[in-house]
Amino acid sequence: MQVDEATVQRIARLARITVTPEEAKALVKELSGILNWVEQLGEVDTSNVEPMTRVVPIALPKRKDEITDGEIPDQVTKNAPQTEDHFFVVPKVVE
């Protein structure tokens, strides 16, 4: 699979990572190389094979739907770049 610069920019937008035009040029080569290399999986016949969902065959444990933690807003917001009254502050989203 060969990707082009427009595809790289489209993925970068989806991934929320700013990519400069120079970086996009280098990424075209790198991503195409990796994607071409993984193409070899096409050789494997996977018809009638279930995709793996977990390596260890255990049932997902369930717990009671109870609150066991909380009331620690100081801790939750402690590492945030910008907070106000235990809220995370972000640039304006709605005009």
Partner 1 sequence: MTDLTKLTLTEARDGLKKKTFTAAELTDAFIAAIEAGNGALNAYVLTTPDHARAQAKAADARLAKGEVRALEGIPLGHKDLFCTNGVRTTACSKILGNFVPTYESTVGANLWHAGAVMLGKLNNDEFAMGSSNETSAFGPVVSPWRRNGSDAKLVPGGSSGGSSSAVAADLCLGATATDTGGSIRQPAALTGTVGIKPTYGRCSRWGIVAFASSLDQAGPIAKTVEDTAVMLGAMAGYDPKDSTCVDAPVPDYAAQMRQGVKGLRVGVPKEYRVEGMSKEIEALWQQGIEWLKAAGATIHEISLPHTKYALPAYYIVAPAEASSNLARYDGVRYGLRVPGKDITDMYSQTRAAGFGKEVRRRVLIGTYVLSAGYYDAYYLKAQKVRTLIKRDFDEAWNKVDVVLTPTTPSPAFAFGEKTGDPLAMYLEDIFTVTVNMAGLPGMSVPAGLSSEGTPLGLQFIGKPFDEGTLFRAGKVIEDAAGRITPPQKWWLSTSKGR
Q: Which residues contact 1 (CB under 8 A, 6 or more apart)?
A: 32, 35, 36, 39
Three-state secondary-structure class, residue 54: coil
Residue 11 found at the interface with partner 1 (CB under 8 A): yes
- Smallest gap from residue 40 Cβ to partner 1 (A): 6
Residue 56 found at the interface with partner 1 (CB under 8 A): yes
Residue 67 found at the interface with partner 1 (CB under 8 A): no
- Smallest gap from residue 23 Cβ to partner 1 (A): 8
Structure tokens at 15: 């991934």
Considering only 16, 22, 65, 66, the residue that binds partner 1 (CB under 8 A) is 16
Strand partners, 87: 84
Residue 55 found at the interface with partner 1 (CB under 8 A): yes
Strand partners, 88: 83
Answer left, alpha or beta for residue 61, where phi above 0 means left and psi between -120 and 50 means alpha. Answer: beta
Site for partner 1, rule CB under 8 A: 3, 7-8, 11-19, 27, 30-31, 33-35, 37-38, 40-44, 46, 49-56, 58, 60-61, 63, 72, 75, 77-82, 88, 90-93
